[in-house]
């Protein structure tokens, strides 16, 4: 089984490499052509749609993966379940954003988000939510190759559309967002067509099937939402206290930090269906321990060249306006090491249906993050936002490790220790795979 997991991870990493290139290209294009203010608008619109969908969707994607991995009969019902939940949650998400827009009265927000931008936010809800749901279904079916191909194709379509928008006259920011929205709907059609094809037996479901998914998803939703909100809350505090240009600068540092997470995400994408399956609990735990060390080592390896070259790389690639993003990235890098561990361990809790045990930890950390942001940003600006994230990441890691240790009396430092035999096995495996491709 170890070879099978490594094989899937390797394929997923190759996909992630292409995704990193495409996402990096999107970041460069939007920063260069839209400028510091346009980049800020582009980022905050995506953040608003993402956090709204995350809030209302109840992490149903996790439920899809769990039940499709565990029960074969769900594959016959999943089409109409997904279809109905997409329509329902889109309405809820749109209504939620409309109400919040009426309630929140902040000068910075109203000045930088015109009615056109707010309309785009509402229109983007459907394709972005659909992408999350359908990609979860692909994982649940263990169609990792299809998931990888659609991930690359979708991001390429978005990048090409953004570049195309710059050849048109008018407001560059608005044109970019219009083409970006159009591309998302093109992806929406492609994903749904494939989903329709793989759902061979599209029988109607019972309402109890939906409740089963919602029951499981609701257990992991709070921790998922709190974790994602923690990654994005600093953007909203920055917009509240500073301006849209500050978001543009900060977003570059965050984007570079998130590129590092592609390794951890690749590992989690593969192991979550296995952890959710009927494998022996000891095997699941052994897998998690090995993958945790792999994630930590990979993060170190990726961070090193960026840290060494970043002082020249950031202004050269993104423009002189974004030179200060490098300093923010250096601070965030400290927190990435903690996240490379905690993200993998959280997958163990979710796969064993124990995610609710981490809710208190996540809630405490998000409150600390918000508190740190409110206290630091008005005084030391963007550095305060980066420091707030780092502090909350390491506090969460410590608390999660203590919780994990209540199940397994292991030396916590072993999670940071690299098993030379395991690394040697991995290198031999990678060499064999590379030679087979050649």
How far CA 103 is from CA of 97, 317, 382, in Å, comes to: 10, 39, 26
Contact (CB, 8 A) for 49 and 181: no
Tokens representing residue 201 in the block: 């037996």
How confident is the prediction for the chain on average, in pLDDT? 81
Q: Which helix (H) or strand (E) holds 24?
A: helix 2-56
Which of 7-11, 122-126, 273-277, 402-406 holds the top average pLDDT?
122-126
Other C-beta atoms closer than 10 Å to the C-beta of 277 total: 13
Q: How many domains does the structure of the chain reveal?
A: 1
239-48-32 Cα angle (round to 5): 65
Task: Give residue 386's pLDDT.
Answer: 93
Residue 15 has pLDDT above 90, yes or no: no
Which residue range(s) make up the domain with 98? 2-437
Report pLDDT digits (tens) over 355-393. Answer: 777 778 888 888 898 899 999 999 899 999 999 999 999
In the DSSP assignment, the letter for residue 200 is: -
Question: Residue 390: which residues within 8 A CB-CB, separation 6 or more?
Answer: 331, 332, 334, 335, 338
The span from the CA of 339 to the CA of 404, in Å, is 15
Report pLDDT digits (tens) over 194-217. Answer: 998 888 656 666 787 888 888 888
Confidence band for 437, pLDDT divided at 50, 70 and 90: very low
What DSSP assignment string belongs to 293-311? HHHHHHHHHHHHHHHHHHH
Report pLDDT digits (tens) over 390-403. Answer: 999 999 898 988 88
Mean pLDDT, residues 127-132 taken together: 94
Q: For the CA atoms of the chain, what is the radius of gyration?
A: 21
Report pLDDT digits (tens) over 238-269. Answer: 888 888 889 999 999 988 887 777 777 667 66
Contact (CB, 8 A) for 210 and 85: yes
Residue 90 has pLDDT above 90, yes or no: yes
Contact (CB, 8 A) for 67 and 74: yes
Question: Residue 92: which residues within 8 A CB-CB, separation 6 or more?
Answer: 56
Tell me what percent of the chain is helix, strand and coil, each rounded to the nearest 5. 90, 0, 10
Q: Is 319 left (phi over 0), alpha (psi -120 to 50) or beta?
A: left
């Amino acid at each position: 089984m170890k070879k099978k997991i490594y094989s899937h991870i390797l394929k997923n990493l190759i996909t992630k490499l292409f995704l990193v290139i495409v996402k990096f290209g999107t970041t460069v294009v939007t920063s260069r052509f839209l400028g510091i203010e346009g980049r800020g608008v582009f980022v905050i619109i995506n953040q608003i749609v993402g956090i709204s969908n995350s809030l209302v969707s109840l992490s149903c994607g996790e439920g899809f993966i769990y039940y499709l991995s565990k029960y074969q009969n769900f594959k016959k019902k999943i089409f109409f379940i997904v279809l109905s939940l997409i329509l329902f949650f889109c309405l809820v998400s749109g209504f939620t954003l409309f109400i919040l827009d009426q309630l929140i009265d902040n000068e910075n927000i109203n000045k930088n988000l015109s009615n056109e931008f707010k309309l785009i936010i509402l229109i983007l809800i459907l394709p972005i939510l659909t992408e999350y749901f359908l990609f979860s279904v692909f994982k649940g079916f263990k169609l990792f190759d299809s998931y990888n191909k659609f991930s690359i194709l979708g991001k390429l379509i978005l990048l090409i559309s953004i570049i195309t928008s710059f050849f048109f006259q008018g407001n560059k920011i608005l044109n970019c967002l219009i083409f970006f929205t159009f591309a998302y709907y093109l992806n929406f059609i492609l994903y749904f067509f494939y989903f329709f094809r793989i759902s061979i037996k599209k029988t109607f479901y019972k309402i109890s099937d939906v409740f089963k998914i919602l029951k499981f998803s609701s257990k992991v939703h709070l921790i998922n939402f709190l974790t994602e909100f923690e990654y994005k809350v600093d953007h909203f505090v920055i917009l509240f206290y500073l301006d849209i240009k500050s978001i543009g600068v900060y977003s570059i540092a965050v984007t570079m930090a998130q590129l590092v997470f592609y390794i951890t995400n690749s590992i989690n994408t593969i192991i979550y269906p296995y952890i959710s399956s009927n494998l022996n609990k000891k095997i699941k735990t052994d897998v998690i321990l090995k993958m945790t060390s792999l994630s930590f080592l990979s993060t170190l390896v990726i961070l090193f060249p960026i840290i060494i070259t970043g002082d020249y790389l950031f202004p050269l690639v993104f423009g002189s306006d974004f030179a200060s993003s490098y300093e923010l990235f250096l601070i965030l890098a400290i927190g990435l090491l903690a996240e490379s561990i905690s993200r993998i361990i959280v997958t163990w809790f979710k796969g064993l249906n124990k995610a609710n045990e981490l809710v208190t930890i996540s809630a405490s950390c998000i409150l600390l993050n918000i508190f740190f942001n409110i206290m630091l940003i008005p005084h030391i600006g963007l550095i305060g936002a980066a420091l707030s994230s780092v502090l909350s990441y390491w506090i969460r890691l410590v608390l999660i490790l203590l919780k994990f240790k209540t199940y397994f009396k292991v030396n916590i430092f072993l999670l940071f220790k690299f098993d030379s035999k395991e690394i040697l096995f991995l290198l031999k495996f990678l060499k064999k795979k590379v030679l087979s491709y050649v």
